Structure 1
């Protein structure tokens, strides 16, 4: 079982609504493997759309409560054991909200005056609003099983999807026991890039959940939006926490109680908490239980106050730091409180997050747990406080809201998916690796001062969809090269043959490729403590922009790391021409990691690659 990683963002990364569009954007089909979709959402209106592209071979599982249109051109659901929970709907319809949110972030149409109960009011839109959506529902109330994910990959490939988006997570495991690794390999072998969420297990290192060299691993980044939630105690003292409260208690005070054991899952006493604001000191997520029990609100102490973690709440809530929590605790236990302690929670308000962009604490970090010399994540995209379409389910405590603001790498993944689809619409013949390279080498640099884990947090940087279709040069990779790397890493020949899908392919010396020689757009080197290292990387660049151009290598490296690029000048005379070079890393580092970079610059295009040398922690 896997789990999900729970529109200002497009403007924030410099991708405005009136960006230049390709006439074939409506022929791009994005396969969304998730919780399904809410087809009646305005974001999925097919007004102005023609019939599905001729290449589409998929179907729609029509039921009493579900049908497709010319926007949602296909929809299927998968349930291996055919058992369903109370909230599960036996159709491609999304009862969770997660699938609807991700799909609309990718390809939702333009919806004016969208908001989450007045928050984030503006125009909601996907990155490629004219693209088509194919839905593959593999997730249910108990998670997302691997067999369903593999079946969905099979169908998305056969149906004609151009890009696959996967906002689901897994614990690090061998490539051949991971449904995401296997499915995404089959996709890339068929010319389809898989964009996958990096995971929400940060900030500790080496817990990234999408680590395959052939998929695009997407970390989450903040945007310039933050929400604060104030509350007032019965002694008229006002304190400030974080959270997104759409409800307004109209300045009315409610009894305030110390929840104690009622703050533990499955231990809430409905009679005790009904009509009261509950103060909790544990970290359990019991918001929905308190809603069901009729509580008036929640004030919750958190050890580290992280605005990027706490978002929209099912009831009025304020998440507070240790200092404010001590004031609440003292008030609850004060002798001066002669009657029932009271409190009120105010409607939240939005502020500008001036530090953005940076990587939030929850976003999973590298290094790559399976192939340490492939840098992961690949890049970052907006994943905090993202407004997108939602399932209007009254059981969620957010009654009939058509949009929601939530955070997670599940939200960053569809931003990268849309950017990949945008490139695909402009360059239909580009390979998955070329699209991925374009996204990585044009990404905007991020500040290591705000992200101590540096490339382990953000990879190549923050996506720049406007620039990505015009990278100058790309690092292209044949799908079979990934199989050759697996051979070089010592994987069993029979298994590699199975995943390569070719009976003619056998692991041999000729069919092996060192990781350092995989034509990846980034460079990583895992070393031992105090090791003096010397490593050579071989790369090839393909010209995709100006027919005649000359690129010069520019290297930035810290003390202790020497980088030699040969040749240091590459000249091209035609589109599609390839030129090879080597990068030699030598030295000895005193710190845990050393960050460097290589930029190929012709005066118009800058093709940027991160270089990271680090001491192995695995």
Structure 2
């Protein structure tokens, strides 16, 4: 199963554009709604925070743009109307912050906060892409809504004492929707509401019907499809990682597990498991020129795109097994990676991703959880200028937009939709907004039930809750 979903196409999939636009609230009403995000901060220079055409900041707004070091009042505008940082709990637990490694300000050193906030309410940006993939106009779900950033997540994590402080301040500032793409170990509940805003913590996601098509050609002439975000390679020798390793974890290309003399100049086949992106560092360090990452039992045919440090294609278990059989049966196996383009119309869609969270409620198993599901795989959105697309220290590239996947990407999609409901019905309570999102969701598409990729069978209410969010 290959996934493709990003904010150049998500609004269309969720029916926020085209013939459906007329049913949504006027942009003037949406611009009165403030979405607050508790995350790693913001990269204010991103085009996703362009405030062209926006009216003055709502009079009800009481927040501010904190002026410290590399962040001042000019970093905010009529789109990004507030930015604060909270580090007391973090520094109390881990000591004074090392400001050579991270910014003691609302500035985003990681990319996560910029990504999530631009999904929720980023301004339209024509021509956005990652290395030419997902090319189009990226925009947030509530593109006219205002954004307020509350940085409470640092290199050492997000501390429980800082997050409640953020919530209190956000309520006083006048935030309407508070979006938290984070979780705490042992947490028993993942969604909250107060009298004047909705707080959404969603750990689930769905793909949109598109893929970043690639294929690789083996020396025996057979071709297999995969997913990739990179350039291709010419014909190179092919080696399965365990055959070039003395380590018991060599199959997964763990750090220092590969023998350079047996890898140099070759495409290396690594098994899934652990950090996908980190494997490319290991292969490159050993002298490899490319990587094929093969799904193993438990991953099935699910494919998620990532940026890597060298040409890489991810393939499903069936293709991976075929490659390994080819390598085992040929004295001089070879392969070529060919990366094509973004392809639309992938079926079936939507499906529940194998790594989506599942119910039931951990405290009371008779209660249904999840609430609903939403997009979160292969999402194109804004990125920081302080870190490369892989997030690895070895990655020196800079990009304006990045494609990443996770439960963190689902949350701002729903937060943006909640903002649209708030704009259309300003007097609705958080419970009413949540009810509207859940009761209008769906569990069947084109007459067929939503599929759970983890089992290959129809998904159940413990997989999708009320269903897939629907506009």
Q: TM tier, shorter chain?
A: 0.7 to 0.9
- The equivalences for 1:318-329 within 5 A come to 318-329=313-324
Question: Rg larger in 1 or in 2?
Answer: 1
CA distance in 2, matches of 1:450, 1:174: 27
2:195 aligns with one of 190, 193, 217? 190
Does 2:10 align with 1:9? yes
Report the CA distance between 1:245 and its aligned residue. Answer: 2.2
User: Alpha-carbon deviations, 1:450-485, whole Å to 9, x = none?
Assistant: 2434211112222223xxxxxxxxxxxxxxxxxxxx
Does 2:410 align with 1:412? yes
Report the CA distance between 1:87 and its aligned residue. Answer: 5.2
CA distance in 2, matches of 1:120, 1:407: 14
Counterpart of 1:476 in structure 2 is: none
Report the CA distance between 1:122 and its aligned residue. Answer: 1.7
User: Do 1:105 and 1:126's aligned partners in 2 also have CA atoms closer than 8 Å?
Assistant: yes
1:230 aligns with one of 215, 228, 252? 215
Report the CA distance between 1:55 and its aligned residue. Answer: 1.6
Which 5+ residue runs of structure 2 have no aligned equivalent?
A: 1-6, 453-457
Counterpart of 1:76 in structure 2 is: 84
Q: Secondary structure at the match of 2:216?
A: strand
User: Do 2:253 and 2:270's aligned partners in 1 also have CA atoms closer than 8 Å?
Assistant: no
Aligned-residue RMSD, C-alpha: 2.8
User: Do 1:243 and 1:313's aligned partners in 2 also have CA atoms closer than 8 Å?
Assistant: no
Shift in CA distance, 332/462, structure 1 to aligned 2, threshold 3 Å: closer
Counterpart of 2:306 in structure 1 is: 312
Q: Secondary structure at the match of 2:373?
A: strand
- Higher mean Cα deviation, 102-111 or 394-403? 394-403
- Higher mean Cα deviation, 165-174 or 419-428? 165-174
Counterpart of 1:52 in structure 2 is: 57
- The equivalences for 1:103-182 within 5 A come to 103-174=117-188
Report the CA distance between 1:376 and its aligned residue. Answer: 1.5
- Higher mean Cα deviation, 293-302 or 410-419? 293-302
Report the CA distance between 1:437 and its aligned residue. Answer: 1.1
- The equivalences for 1:469-508 within 5 A come to none
Counterpart of 1:606 in structure 2 is: none
2:352 aligns with one of 359, 376, 383? 359
- The equivalences for 1:13-92 within 5 A come to 13-16=14-17, 18-19=21-22, 20-22=24-26, 23-66=28-71, 67-79=75-87, 80-81=90-91, 82-84=96-98, 88-92=102-106
Report the CA distance between 1:286 and its aligned residue. Answer: 4.7
1:444 aligns with one of 433, 436, 442? 442
Q: Secondary structure at the match of 1:149?
A: helix
User: Do 1:309 and 1:407's aligned partners in 2 also have CA atoms closer than 8 Å?
Assistant: no
Give the number of aligned pairs: 424
User: Do 2:61 and 2:174's aligned partners in 1 also have CA atoms closer than 8 Å?
Assistant: yes
Q: Secondary structure at the match of 1:287?
A: helix
1:287 aligns with one of 274, 277, 297? 277
Counterpart of 1:458 in structure 2 is: 464
CA distance in 1, matches of 2:329, 2:11: 49
1:375 aligns with one of 368, 381, 384? 368
User: Alpha-carbon deviations, 1:98-126, whole Å to 9, x = none?
Assistant: 21121111111111122222222222111
Q: Secondary structure at the match of 2:374?
A: strand
Does 2:342 align with 1:344? no
Q: Secondary structure at the match of 2:108?
A: coil
Which 5+ residue runs of structure 1 have no aligned equivalent?
A: 1-6, 199-218, 466-618
CA distance in 1, matches of 2:225, 2:182: 30
Report the CA distance between 1:342 and its aligned residue. Answer: 4.2
Higher strand share: 1
User: Alpha-carbon deviations, 1:22-79, whole Å to 9, x = none?
Assistant: 3221121101111212211111112233432222222222344332222111112233
Counterpart of 1:497 in structure 2 is: none
User: Do 1:107 and 1:128's aligned partners in 2 also have CA atoms closer than 8 Å?
Assistant: yes
Does 2:268 align with 1:278? yes
Q: Secondary structure at the match of 1:347?
A: strand
CA distance in 2, matches of 1:10, 1:45: 19
CA distance in 1, matches of 2:143, 2:293: 39
Counterpart of 1:243 in structure 2 is: 227
User: Do 2:215 and 2:225's aligned partners in 1 also have CA atoms closer than 8 Å?
Assistant: yes
User: Do 2:121 and 2:144's aligned partners in 1 also have CA atoms closer than 8 Å?
Assistant: yes
Does 2:289 align with 1:296? yes
Give the structure-2-normalised TM-score. 0.81
CA distance in 2, matches of 1:440, 1:282: 35
User: Do 1:113 and 1:121's aligned partners in 2 also have CA atoms closer than 8 Å?
Assistant: yes
- The equivalences for 1:383-402 within 5 A come to 383-392=376-385, 393-394=387-388, 396=390, 397=395, 399-402=397-400
Shift in CA distance, 449/403, structure 1 to aligned 2, threshold 3 Å: closer
Q: Secondary structure at the match of 2:161?
A: helix
